[in-house]
Structure 1
């Protein structure tokens, strides 16, 4: 806005000055008087009709210019007085927003004083006291407060699963670097119930180290300086827990309202209900917490040292000393239901006798819809679902990629067939040689067939059942034609008896 005011004001002043000079030249007056802002005032007063409007326009331009310069000065003072704050960065932005405090000697002195001491710091203008640290789901959180929602907290989205940290791991981030973990600074303003959160993606300084301590936590040290207005920082050594339990003087706070508290109380109770060494593992499967009613329920799976497993349900209630198992509330939980036995396979459809050679393909008709494996005389095998049967051929539906395709298998090429239930049929030579009576045997080239001229071309075949198919004509022999049809990345061969063909024409 300030920039536009300056541009408009200067433009108006220049245009008015040019107009005054032209009017002075027309009336034969001195031009120098109108170049200087005030020198031509007397001349304007004596010749107001000639110079008045242009003089007012120049004054207005000068006023607008001065107003724009004043706004620019105010913006500059405000930006210089307030350190830049790193918030949510607009997608695609690459600006690094930091503050003088991050790189100041004051921050360096605070880091040096706190190194090697218990964790301390200042978050949003409040000194950190009795803080606790957790590492859950890859998020390292330092929080302060007894409520479910902490009064102060800072969370580092490290994306470090606890199971993956098997040795000391470090992380260094400089204020001018990008790609560091996102940081969430949260605080609860006075008089409000819910916290506010500021997201910081860059401009901060971080020196972090974590090392496994025991199955329930990690030892760590941190130096963190944030570029917020209140000069927040953290420095010192800490112990990070891998759950949401709260601790008081080193002991678990049983009065903290959280599902992890109910799970811990239930595990401690079960250890007292079995002889020492009997329980090998206690796995909490489900926790229901009704905070308003002061009650809850926990379902666990127990593994005994003898290998036995069982489920138990426990009811819990909130007491003056914290959460506790309600006496007599432990019951047997839902036991794993046995998987139902698989339904019996339907009996195979009756088919031809496998003890004698197969002389007629039509006897396979009862097996339509069953899966067959066809072995040709050349050794090639095809497995598919039998869809149709004729006296001289059969049709199989084959799975191709995500779809399927139906192919015809000439009976003269079939050597044997087998089903998925173990039955097998040997095709007799009489069945393999069966051809429609109206198609005579002859030379494979069959020069008298008019389809010979279409060999190698893309054709459209129409059969007696009204179906059409396009493909490349590969062969005309043995009383049939062979078409190759592209399917996926390959091709599929189709066979049609000459007696079934009504017409064949070239596509192009």
Structure 2
């Protein structure tokens, strides 16, 4: 509505100005040429008001819908109004560089095909044209197995056996749902794709379907191998995808437990349109299954992250830990005690990596507030906190529950 009012006002103003110039030419050639410049047209209006007043009234009438339209536009889209007033519409549009280098020649269902999106995920190669929920045109090739490493594949029309399924779909004008055709054989296909860091593949693509389907594509393609996106060499956590959430959770667990080798179970399907998500994470460390309840939050500066995440970055290449020398078997003599258990300073990372090795051991834990928790180590609770059981005088017991972030020192005791 606002756009129509603005256009109507501009048309009335333009028509009134043309009328004014014609009135000026009717007066004399000098006034006609002078009125082509708006400041001199004002002089004509002041000098010959009786002749110019009808055109001025027409221009004034055009100002009414123009002002009303601009007011409506400012009420619900002030940014667009500012762009109009800045005359951004007169400037040339910047050239947007596509994310992927896709150079294909040919057609799909008899129409030119220029895909903007391409990926190879879970054994399905997809080339899509259009950003809507349903692609305007799309080619999908379902490979017999997921791809690991380079991919080279050649299929001829007479080949048999286990072959990729090829499906093409297109959205006809006026239709809400796309039409699709799938082929299991009878086509020609050549793929020669090489992996390229961090998550892309690049190479040759050739596809020829039966002549009745009017689909022939040939050229070079570049595609993604997952739904992660990178910015300056780092994963862009602002992208809303299941792969982004999986990366954020894995990175959090690796830093929290100071372990690169984290086996993480698939996450449940999450609605990335919501800024806060609750998720139950199932993972294992050194073969020990564990479960955590995490809250995923999205912020403008950081993107997706785990609430309460204050753990330091984990070294990409941790220094190798020298293996202890093999213990020499010693036959204990009668009456001699066995070897004494390990005592002394214990690192928090080592305790988090293998908490079962120190269960039921006496230890003394120093916190950053200067307090001391002295007792028997029970283990880690569901949130990764240290649980220390302390026997009180009499028959009672107390438990200390300490967050790893507040622990500054751990000492194993001999008793």
Q: TM-score, normalised by structure 2?
A: 0.39
Greater Rg by CA: 1
Q: TM-score, normalised by structure 1?
A: 0.33
